[in-house]
């Protein structure tokens, strides 16, 4: 994922400064107007983490239906203390993932990340 992402932006694997610049855009929510923070109950066990991913994807699909775009941001989980200072969640909740939400800038020339071909991700058994 990292190689595809930074490769699409023309950033070399060893260009730590350029990678850090792109990563820092997370803290600006990539210019989006809205940030969503998804918290989980601490007593959820690992199978329920899959439910959370599906929940976030459903939110993202519903956003598309409303003409909005989004970017899931697991990066926010690293700074959960800082986010918690803003959100003040109850103790039994932990930050799972963030998400930037907004309208795509039609003037943006930001390159898309290439998709892996179907044959790379799916095995069809005959």
Ligand X SMILES: Cc1cc2nc3c(=O)[nH]c(=O)nc-3n(C[C@H](O)[C@H](O)[C@H](O)COP(=O)(O)O)c2cc1C
Interface residues with ligand X (CB under 6 A)? 26, 71-75, 97, 112-113
Considering beta carbons, is residue 35 or 75 the nearer one to ligand X?
75
Considering beta carbons, is residue 57 or 87 the nearer one to ligand X?
57
CB of 27 to ligand X, least distance (A): 10
CB of 14 to ligand X, least distance (A): 19
DSSP per-residue string spanning 51-85: HHHHHHHHHHHHHHHTT-EEEEETHHHHTHHHHHH
Total residue length of the chain: 126
Considering beta carbons, is residue 115 or 126 the nearer one to ligand X?
115
> CB within 8 A of 111, min separation 6: which ones?
8, 9
């Amino acid at each position: 994922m990292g190689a595809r992402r930074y490769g699409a932006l023309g950033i070399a694997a060893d260009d730590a400064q350029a990678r850090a610049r792109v990563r820092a855009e997370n803290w600006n929510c990539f210019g989006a107007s809205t940030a969503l923070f998804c918290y989980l109950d601490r007593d959820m066990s690992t199978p329920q983490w899959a439910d959370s991913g599906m929940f976030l994807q459903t939110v993202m699909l519903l956003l598309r239906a409303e003409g909005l775009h989004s970017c899931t941001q697991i990066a926010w989980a690293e700074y959960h203390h800082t986010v918690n200072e803003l959100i003040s969640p109850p103790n039994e909740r932990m930050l799972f993932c963030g998400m930037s939400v907004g309208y795509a800038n039609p003037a943006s020339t930001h390159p898309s990340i290439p998709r892996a071909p179907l044959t790379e991700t799916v095995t069809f058994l005959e």
